[in-house]
Amino acid sequence: MLRFVAETGSTNDDLLALARNGAPEGLWLRAGRQTGGKGRQGRAWQSPPGNLYASALLRLRQGDPPAPTLALVAAVALHEVAAIHAQGRDLRIKWPNDLLLDGGKLAGILLERSGDAVVIGFGVNLARPPEGLDGPKAALGEGVEPEAVLETLAEAFARWLGRWRGEGLGPVRAGWLAAAHPIGTALSTSGGNGLFDGLDESGALRLRRADGNIHIVHAGDVFLI
């Protein structure tokens, strides 16, 4: 079910509130504009018009893989949809779930949980990137409509969610690696620098240090050098 509001504080906050009141899995909420959008670690998320701001609600079930790995599910689904409109440009996933287009940040994904409810927020630069933020930004370009992107995204996410539940993390992990920056890419993390060495079996980042040792990163900011 897809719902739309012209303006709200945060689609994630709205869906979390609905989840606490019993809203079912499969509900999506899109806003034309957010006044209190947020990114990871509480960062503000600007909402220029024409971009996609949407959140999805799911309910964890017994036997599901670990909830944090839904970040990989969301990233793979969004990459699949963005690739339709990227027209051959360099589109990559950066761990755990940012999308980069020609080296600039195209999209971010934020997961929040309340009980068995997980809300996954997607912010995608369609018409234009936000201004005044650090680092390079990118957008897919004028003419890419949020409504159409969301419909395709909801379908792709449902499909990948089904594989995550039915086949485990393996296929999702493989899809993520196929869409990510190459093995050997230089990365900077809060725990130090190193080279991208793939993901471990839990979806955590493998970082190869200069001395050859592998450091496992479970959380935190990661930047391409």
Which domains are delineated in the chain?
Answer: 2-180 (3.30.930.10), 183-225 (2.30.30.100)
What is residue 77's three-state secondary structure? helix
What is residue 2's three-state secondary structure? strand
What is residue 92's three-state secondary structure? strand
Neighbours of 85 (CB within 10 A): 19
Reported for 194-201, long-range contacts at CB under 8 A and 24+ positions apart, including other chains, are 196/95, 199/95, 199/173, 201/169, 201/173
What is residue 162's three-state secondary structure? helix
pLDDT at 40: 53
For residue range 22-65, what is the model confidence (pLDDT) as tens digits? 999 999 999 999 987 655 545 566 678 899 999 999 999 999 99
Q: Who wins on pLDDT, 134 or 138?
A: 138
Confidence of residue 135 (pLDDT cuts 50, 70, 90): confident
For residue range 156-171, what is the model confidence (pLDDT) as tens digits? 999 999 999 999 999 9
For residue range 139-194, what is the model confidence (pLDDT) as tens digits? 998 789 999 999 999 999 999 999 999 999 999 999 999 999 999 999 999 889 99
Q: CB within 8 A of 223, min separation 6: which ones?
A: 187, 188, 189
> Does pTM surpass 0.95?
no
pLDDT at 136: 84
pLDDT at 37: 67
User: DSSP letter at 218?
Assistant: -
